[in-house]
């Protein structure tokens, strides 16, 4: 499953929004309604579901779905590189 589908699926599940309404430019807090606790749940679900570790500093910079997807893709790429080495 693609990172895009995983991110949108978890956002939809945790925030109770239709995944079709989630846009790349959607702000996770303002547009999708995530408070800090929900956002933490999203990060934990992504880490668990993709077997990655999202650094706190990276998570704190996320505003939009695109930002979150960029962080997730970066961590997935780092994991692949580490396995290949």
pLDDT in tens, the chain (85 residues): 789 999 999 999 999 999 999 999 999 999 999 999 999 999 999 999 999 999 999 999 999 999 999 999 999 999 999 989 8
3-84: in CATH 3.40.50.11400: no
Query: pTM of the full predicted structure?
Result: 0.94
DSSP state of 54: -
Residues tagged active-site: 35
The CB density around residue 80, as the number of other CB atoms within 10 Å, is 10
The region, left, alpha or beta by phi > 0 then psi within -120 to 50, assigned to residue 16 is left
Q: Is the dihedral of CA 48, 51, 56, 61 positive or negative?
A: negative
- Residue 53 neighbours by CB under 8 Å, 6+ apart: 47, 75
Token code pair at residue 85: 């080495």
């Amino acid at each position: 499953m693609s990172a895009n589908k995983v991110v949108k699926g978890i956002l939809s599940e945790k925030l109770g929004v239709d995944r079709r309404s989630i846009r790349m430019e959607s702000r996770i807090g303002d547009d999708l309604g995530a408070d800090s606790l929900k956002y933490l749940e999203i990060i934990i679900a992504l880490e668990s579901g993709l077997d990655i570790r999202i650094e706190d500093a990276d998570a704190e910079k996320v505003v939009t779905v695109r930002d979150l997807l960029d962080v997730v893709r970066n961590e997935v790429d780092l994991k692949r590189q580490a396995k290949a080495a």
